[in-house]
Amino acid sequence: MATDPLVVLDPAWPKMSLAQIEGLLTAPGQKFEIETVEIRGVPTKAWKHAPASLAMLMLFSRTHGDREFLIHEDERVTYDAHFRAVATLAHKLIAMGIGRGDRVAFAMRNLPEWTQIFFAVTSIGAIAVPLNAWWSGDELEYGIVDSGAKLVILDGERHVRLRDHYAAMPAVEQVLVARPTGPLEGGAADFASLVGPTSGWATLTDVGLPDIAMTIQPDDEVAIFYTSGTTGHPKGAIGTHRNMLSNIFSTGYGAARMLLRRGEVPPATPEHKTHLIVIPFFHVTACSAFLMGNIVAGGTIVLMRKWDTVEAFKLIEKERINATGGVPTIAWQLLEHPDRGKYDLSSLENISYGGAPSAPELVRRIYQEFGALPGNGWGMTETMATVTSHQGEDYLNRPDSCGPPVPVAELKVMSPDGAQAIPVGEVGELWAKGPMIVKGYWNKPEATAATFIDGWVRTGDLARLDEEGFCYIVDRAKDIIIRGGENIYSIEVENVLYAHSAVTDAALVGIPHRILGEEPAAVVHLCSGCSATEAELQAWVGKHLAGFKVPVAIRFVGDVLPRNANGKILKQELRALFAEPAPA
């Protein structure tokens, strides 16, 4: 289905082309100046003025002083207090024998201790291993053992989940528990004994960062983020300081580009904004794409223990939240909740998301109903987040795109065998290159060799590029449905379903067929108080797309579709719905 662009308020938009903006912003001497550096033997474009390490970012964060950095329920932590806590913990870690290259694994909810641990570990040259807090005990054990972590830090809930597994992790020398929910067991110790609770961080002695912080180089290893693969064990993507810090300038460039496209002058310094973050920090979208730029801008981050739409409304009203998002599902729930009108949400200026494609209808409704500008982008664990960015009027006019690549990134669309580039406008596998591409997979040389080639990463996404370089993700290569030799891209059908007024969540999956190989089937969640039948939705899809793309069956579910922590729909779970007869 072709997507009509929204009406642009200023008929003269855009005031500048993408090429003009890039030439202006990246010129020698400018903030977004680009240089070519050699990364693992490959000449690569990079942001010239990016900090050398996360330790340097922490030192800069002190300049925000008493401005609030983190708000968690009734706890309010300033930038200065957070730096004192990070520095104190960094010295304590060294005293515990943690050194350069050692892995420290941690798993917890979005708590102030999460960022304290992350920056303390990375400021002493050690490697942070943020584990998925949604994982089971077996999965957490796998990540800890696979990474070879010497130290494990958990919140109380994760301790209860993992305590029976400690004996199976012989390399772990110590387990610390933050905010325990009961008596500590299994030899674990109280994390608070090292630095104390957040209420005392502002009065900690100013010890400064350890000397080792000044020796860290941009391409030193900084973190292992495990992929969200739904088959087999997840792989640990090895990120560097340069990978993560590239996001600062990629985010800033996207904001400046949006203003220049309107004919406005970007501010000399970033504006302080208040953000409600609802995506877990253990995901690169939150930790790398969001957190790095927010610290530079001096933004305030409001944390939620667990996502709840009404609680989000209350926080937006109370804290005058300027921006939120995370994954498209959250934006849909904010739009569709029947209590939305009971709260003052007028402070919202931006609703952005990544991690999963969004329907064009969502882009339109954010703008029309909230009066907020939508934002999107594309990246993956293997790119340590931002490769493309898409904001404001560009997004409104290309709602089915994830935007053009940032200037230090390169994209190409390749044939399935990786032997040749695909012409502009045609679909193939997306490859990406830039300073954000990780070193490879932890302890998996064969997977690394197959995925990372001469500075490029094979993404596994099917995509096309248009004449201006805007990228359109069509599907995951493994999710494409081939019906009797005809390709069906899931996103195309899902976007049509989303455009129906009763649909708020949808996914297309392939189900086996003896003759055709497979056929498309859909799982749909309807908005509160809405109704639609299978036949009605099939007719809706058939009105907009070829007949072979119409789902042969549609199942309706009472809740939003199951997703992993990165916002990707767990399609394998949905396929099971078609293994049984449809409910009467």
Residue 439 has pLDDT above 60, yes or no: yes
Residue 8 has pLDDT above 70, yes or no: no
Residue 583 has pLDDT above 60, yes or no: no
Residue 476, number of CB atoms within 10 A of its CB: 17
Q: Is 231 exposed, middle or buried (0-12, 13-18, 19+ CB in 10 A)?
A: exposed
Residue 121 CA to residue 123 CA, distance in Å, equals: 6
Give me the residue spans of the domains in the chain: 18-50+239-475, 54-216, 480-578
| Tokens, residue 381 | 């664990």
Instruction: Give the pLDDT band (50/70/90) at residue 332.
Output: confident
Residue 150 has pLDDT above 70, yes or no: yes
Find the mean pLDDT for residues 286-294. 94
3-state secondary structure 395-448: HHHCCCCCECECCCCEEEEECCCCCCECCCCCCEEEEEECCCCCCCECCCHHHH
Q: HSE, CB side, 13 Å, CA atoms: give it for residue 417.
A: 2
Contact 310, 318 (CB under 8 A): no
Contact 223, 54 (CB under 8 A): no
202 versus 231: the higher-pLDDT residue is 202
Nearest to 151 by CA among 169, 173, 167: 173
- Model pLDDT, residue 357: 60
- Model pLDDT, residue 413: 97
What DSSP character marks residue 367?
I
Contact 463, 413 (CB under 8 A): yes
Q: Is 265 exposed, middle or buried (0-12, 13-18, 19+ CB in 10 A)?
A: exposed
As a whole number, the mean pLDDT across the chain is: 92
End-to-end CA gap in the chain: 31
User: Which backbone phi and psi does 74 adopt, to 5 degrees?
Assistant: -95, 10
Fold equal for 18-50+239-475 and 480-578 = no
Segment 457-480, tens digit of pLDDT? 999 888 999 999 999 988 777 778
Percent of the chain with pLDDT over 70: 95
**18-50+239-475, which class in CATH?**
alpha beta
- Which of 147-151, 174-178, 261-265, 542-546 has the least mean pLDDT? 542-546
- Model pLDDT, residue 477: 72
- Residue 50: which residues within 8 A CB-CB, separation 6 or more? 218, 242, 245, 246, 248, 249, 435
Residue 559 has pLDDT above 90, yes or no: no
- Model pLDDT, residue 355: 57
Angle 7-9-15 from CA coordinates, rounded to 5°:
105
Residue 582 has pLDDT above 50, yes or no: no
Which one is the CATH code of 54-216: 3.40.50.300, 2.40.30.10, 3.40.50.980, 3.30.2230.10? Answer: 3.40.50.980
Nearest to 383 by CA among 363, 406, 351, 357: 406
In angstroms, how far is CA 398 from the centroid of its own chain?
21
Segment 86-100, tens digit of pLDDT? 999 999 999 999 999
CATH number belonging to domain 480-578: 3.30.300.30
Find the mean pLDDT for residues 494-512. 91
Residue 288 has pLDDT above 50, yes or no: yes
289-to-100, 209, 554, 567 alpha-carbon distances in Å = 25, 24, 36, 15
Instruction: Give the pLDDT band (50/70/90) at residue 119.
Output: very high
Find the mean pLDDT for residues 312-319. 97
Residue 553 CA to residue 582 CA, distance in Å, equals: 9
Nearest to 490 by CA among 482, 563, 561: 482
Segment 422-438, tens digit of pLDDT? 999 999 999 999 999 99
Nearest to 226 by CA among 402, 331, 372, 103: 103
Find the mean pLDDT for residues 350-376. 82
Q: HSE, CB side, 13 Å, CA atoms: give it for residue 563.
A: 20
Instruction: Give the pLDDT band (50/70/90) at residue 13.
Output: very high
Instruction: Give the pLDDT band (50/70/90) at residue 9.
Output: low
Segment 44-67, tens digit of pLDDT? 999 999 999 999 999 999 999 999
